[in-house]
Amino acid sequence: MAEVVWRPSEEALERANVVRFMRRHGFHDYGEFQRRSAEDADWFWAAVVEDLGLEFARPWERVVDTSRGPEWATWFVGGQVSIAWNCAHRWAEGERADEPAVVWAPEDGGRRELSYRELSGEVTRLAEALVARGVEPGDRVAIYLPMSAEVAIASHACAHVGAVQVPVFSGFAAPAVATRLQDSEATVLITTDGALRRGREVGMKAIADEAARAAPSLEHVLVWRRLGGDAPMQAGRDEWWDEAVAGSPGSLEPLAVDSEHPYLLTYTSGTTGRPKGIVHVQGGFLVSIAREVAYQADARPDDRLHFATDMGWIMGPWTVVGGHAAGCTLVLAEGAPDWPADRLWRLVEAERVSILGCSPTLIRALIPHGDPAADLSSLRTIVTTGEPWNPDPYRWLFERVGGGRCPIINCSGGTEVGACFLSPTPATPIKACSLGGPALGMAMDVVDAEGSSVRGEVGELVCRRPFPGMTRGFWRDPERYLETYWRRLPGIWVHGDWASVDEDGYWFLHGRSDDTLNIAGKRIGPAEIESAVVEHAAVAEAAAIGVPHEVKGEVAWVFCILAPGFEGSAELAAEVADTAAAQLGRAFKPDRVVFVRALPKTRSAKIMRRAVRAKALGTDPGDLSSLENPEALEEIERAVA
């Protein structure tokens, strides 16, 4: 059994936002408060908006409407809101106007700081430039940038005019960028001439140009001069950002849109098919993320928040929306957090970061470099997410980084959740590696195959009621959304995670219950890796699986059937892996490529990936009654050995 490593002091309890919120509503027991928050949505979510001072331009008529079923619940019905106003402009008109909103740390040194007044002005001018180029509410604007002040400006500018932002992971190769541009039908792309990563220049404009050739909807490309402006520019389409905003007066008022107006279209991967386009809306996303950053991460205006992430993953928007909704200073860093190895710790020391976000994978990668030598006394909260913890790295983070005085807020949700399902708070005791319990407002459970609650054993993590931050479906694919989350147990969201609740009521995760790979905290579907692999002429068919890895948490192994005329070799395996990396980015390069004559398939011709994984790892493959060719598993077992 895990031990309790964090018990809040009286000082921590008196400081905690969640304690203030509880007491305001007459609660003194967090468990009771959480249960009420999950059972009474009308009361709780309205109370969140009031407590956090979030501003709706027009009040809502109903908190939630489930008349179309829980799958299609709508929130803050009839209300109008602007994320840009709540995250940037309102602070610029108040006492925080001259306080820092963003600090940017480029990889090659230096520093740039924007006050809330300056951020508001930059957002407004870019918003005006977007409107001048024909962007209307609902149009998609892709953001392909490294973490920088420009990320926050671009994000809020999209919200300012009611455009739907499409953040793209800055490490993607051109084919993966193109897929997202094509699927979203983005009309504008905001990118940069280049960026620095581990001391090397990455030509992001060149990658964007290659992707743009496969994106016929793209009309305008705005380019930030990061590396000096030496990049090819296509006449009539490409413009330098600074020149595009030069004539903007900075007077355009932010557009208040319906609470259900689309805000964010971001992509995550499932077990089959193309990446899923996850749709989030202005009202639900703002309130859900603001709640999480305020009550779980315990953020307030005097905090300096840094999350080692990218805008292409949900924790990027989490940082920009949640941190700025709380009036925090965001510390955004270009490049890799572990290059040099002590960079993250030096950043915390230099910027006096008080809330640090990271993944278990990053911590496992940093441990071999030794204990931090920097002054980390500014830290008071550490937020982690992305994958389950194992005990030793968790304890190292708690003791060597947090000094035993910072709670680890280990939360879990997902791109589709728009916040978290499970999370502790600084005001509650925390067991090592646990996720505490259901987050505020979340009606969570662990169930068996029939949907009955189970305790003390591993089951499926589910959510029994809708919540404001949930995706409003997959982009132009409502059936896939229903099939992914709602069809297995009708009326209940089945998330695809194995979970358990111990005898003391602490919740733990145990990995994915579907085939999704989780590489260094980044989810990618096996089909996307397989599609990249078969781009190589030698590969006729492939099956990708996730295999545990000491540092990354999980890596990809790919089992390939060769096309006629090709012979397997170590050289060919390396070529195939490089092909996948060229399509998806080096972060997703397969760790191992294995050539086999056949893949195990069901009678309906579906590859049985769980059986492949079981044979590769030497575990029980379970029920194989639907398998057409069991001899394929024997070959896989021999090939791996």
DSSP string, 448-486: -TTS-B--SS-EEEEESS--TTS-S-BTT-HHHHHHHHT
Residue 82 — very low, low, confident or very high, per pLDDT cuts 50/70/90?
Answer: very high
Q: List Cα–Cα distances, 582 to 151, 172, 211, 555, 561, in angstroms.
A: 25, 9, 13, 17, 20
* Residue 630 within a domain: yes
Interval 98-119 mean pLDDT: 97
pLDDT at 605 over 80: no
Residue 346 pLDDT: 98
Task: Tell me whether strands 304-307 and 329-333 are parallel, antiparallel or unpaired.
Answer: parallel
Please report which helix (H) or strand (E) contains residue 207, including its range.
helix 204-212
**CA nearest neighbour of 72 among 508, 559, 472, 510:** 472
Residue 481 · residue 278 · CB < 8 Å: no
Segment 413-420 shows an average pLDDT of 92
Residue 516 pLDDT > 70, yes or no?
A: yes
- Residue 610's domain comprises 518-640
561 in Cβ contact with 542 (< 8 Å): yes
Q: Do you know the residue count of the chain?
A: 641
Report the distance separating Cα 112 and Cα 148, nearest Å: 9
| Mean model confidence pLDDT for the chain | 94
Per-residue confidence (pLDDT) for residue 602, from 0 to 100: 67
Task: Write down the H helix ranges in 261-405.
Answer: 282-291, 315-317, 323-325, 343-351, 360-366, 391-396
Residue 320 lies in a domain: no
Split at pLDDT 50, 70, 90, the class of 344 is very high
pTM, full prediction: 0.89
| Domain CATH for 538 | 3.30.300.30
Q: Is residue 332 part of a domain?
A: no
Q: Which two tokens stand for residue 445?
A: 């459970």
- The number of helix segments (H) and strand segments (E) in the chain equals 22, 34
Is 615 within the bounds of a domain?
A: yes
The total number of structural domains in the chain stands at 1
172 occurs within a structural domain: no
For residue 113, the tally of other CB atoms under 10 A from its CB is: 14
Determine contact, residues 49/56, Cβ cutoff 8 Å.
yes
Q: How confident is the model over 191-250, as pLDDT tens digits?
A: 999 999 999 999 999 999 999 999 999 999 999 999 987 899 999 999 999 999 999 999
Q: What is the CA radius of gyration of the chain?
A: 24
What pLDDT, on the 0 to 100 scale, is given for residue 383? 98
Task: Give the whole-angstrom CA distance, residue 521 versus residue 588.
Answer: 11
User: Once rounded to an integer, what is the mean pLDDT over residues 596-610?
Assistant: 78
pLDDT in tens, 542-565: 999 999 998 888 999 999 999 999
Angle at 372 between CA 202 and CA 295, to 5 degrees: 85
Render pLDDT for 471-487 as a digit per residue (tens, 0 to 9): 999 999 999 999 999 99
pLDDT at 271: 47
Q: What does DSSP say about strands 238-240 and 220-224: parallel, antiparallel, or unpaired?
A: parallel
In a domain, 268, yes or no: no
Does 361 score more than 60 pLDDT? yes
Element (H, E) at 507: strand 507-512
Single-letter amino acid, residue 49: V
Task: List, edge to edge, every strand of the sheet that includes 188-192.
Answer: 238-240, 220-224, 188-192, 140-143, 164-167, 262-268, 276-281
pLDDT digits (tens, 9 = 90+) for 263-287: 999 998 654 456 889 999 999 999 9
At residue 273, what are phi and psi to the nearest 5 degrees?
75, -165
pLDDT at 433 over 90: yes
Do 167 and 137 contact (CB within 8 A), yes or no? no
For helices 41-52 and 17-24, the axis angle rounded to 10 degrees is 120
Mean pLDDT of all residues in 109-129: 98
The verdict on residue 476 lying in a domain is no
SS3 52: helix
Q: Is 398 helix (H, G, I), strand (E, B) or coil?
A: helix
Among residues 405, 402, 451, 444, which one has the least CA distance to residue 423? 444
Banded pLDDT at 609 (limits 50, 70, 90): confident
Res. 588 pLDDT band, cuts 50 70 90: very high
Instruction: Select the more confidently predicted residue: 1 or 439.
Output: 439
Helix (H) or strand (E) holding 445: strand 444-447
